[in-house]
Amino acid sequence: MIKRIALLGSTGSIGTQTLEVIDGLGDDYQVVALAAGGNYELLAKQISKYKPEYAALVNEKNLEKLKTIVNGERCQFGKGPEGQLLAARWPSADLVVIAQVGFSGFEPLIAALESGKRIALANKESLVIGGEILQRFGLLDRERIFPVDSEHSAIKQCWTAKYQEEIARIYITASGGPFYGMTQTELQKVTPQDALKHPNWQMGPKITIDSATMMNKGLEVIEAKWLFDLSLDQIKVVIHRQSIVHSMVEYVDGSTIAQLGMPDMRTPIQYALTYPERKKSLVRSYNPYGTTLTFAEPDHVNFPSLKLAFRAAEAGGTMPAVLNGANEVAVELFLAGTLIFNAIPILIEKVMALHDNIKIPEVSDVIAANHWARNMALEVGSVLRERMD
- In terms of CB distance, is 206 or 355 closer to ligand NAP? 206
- In terms of CB distance, is 308 or 384 closer to ligand NAP? 308
* Minimal distance, residue 357 CB to ligand NAP, in Å: 24
* Minimal distance, residue 152 CB to ligand NAP, in Å: 9
- In terms of CB distance, is 115 or 357 closer to ligand NAP? 115
Helix (H, G, I), strand (E, B) or coil at 209: helix
* Minimal distance, residue 204 CB to ligand NAP, in Å: 3
Mention every residue, 6+ apart, whose C-beta is less than 8 A from residue 380.
326, 347, 350, 351, 354
- In terms of CB distance, is 14 or 258 closer to ligand NAP? 14
* Minimal distance, residue 254 CB to ligand NAP, in Å: 30
* Minimal distance, residue 132 CB to ligand NAP, in Å: 18
Q: Cα–chain-centroid distance for residue 173?
A: 15
H-helix or E-strand spanning residue 95: strand 95-98
- In terms of CB distance, is 14 or 32 closer to ligand NAP? 14
* Minimal distance, residue 15 CB to ligand NAP, in Å: 5
Please count the CA atoms within 13 angstroms of the CA of 281 that sit on its side-chain side.
24
Packed helices 319-335 and 215-228: angle between N→C axes, nearest 10 degrees: 150
Q: Which residues pair with 57 in a beta bridge?
A: 36, 79
- In terms of CB distance, is 269 or 340 closer to ligand NAP? 269
Helix (H, G, I), strand (E, B) or coil at 38: coil
* Minimal distance, residue 334 CB to ligand NAP, in Å: 15
- In terms of CB distance, is 56 or 384 closer to ligand NAP? 56
Helices (H), the chain: 13-25, 40-50, 60-69, 80-88, 106-114, 124-136, 150-158, 184-187, 192-195, 205-213, 215-228, 266-274, 305-315, 319-335, 343-354, 363-388
* Minimal distance, residue 203 CB to ligand NAP, in Å: 3
- Using an 8 Å Cβ cutoff, are 33 and 93 in contact? yes
CB atoms within 10 A of CB 300: 13
* Minimal distance, residue 360 CB to ligand NAP, in Å: 26
* Cis peptide preceding 288, ω within 30 of 0: no
Q: Cα–chain-centroid distance for residue 171?
A: 18
- Using an 8 Å Cβ cutoff, are 256 and 250 in contact? yes
- In terms of CB distance, is 214 or 384 closer to ligand NAP? 214
Please give the Cα distance from 257 to 132 (Å, whole number): 28
* Minimal distance, residue 252 CB to ligand NAP, in Å: 29
- In terms of CB distance, is 77 or 201 closer to ligand NAP? 201
- In terms of CB distance, is 204 or 320 closer to ligand NAP? 204
Convert 144-190 into a string of H (helix), E (strand) and C (coil).
CEEECCHHHHHHHHHCCCCCHHHEEEEEEEECCCCCCCCCHHHHCCC
- Note the residues at the interface with ligand NAP (CB under 6 A): 9-15, 36-39, 58, 84, 99-101, 104, 122-125, 149, 201, 203-207, 265
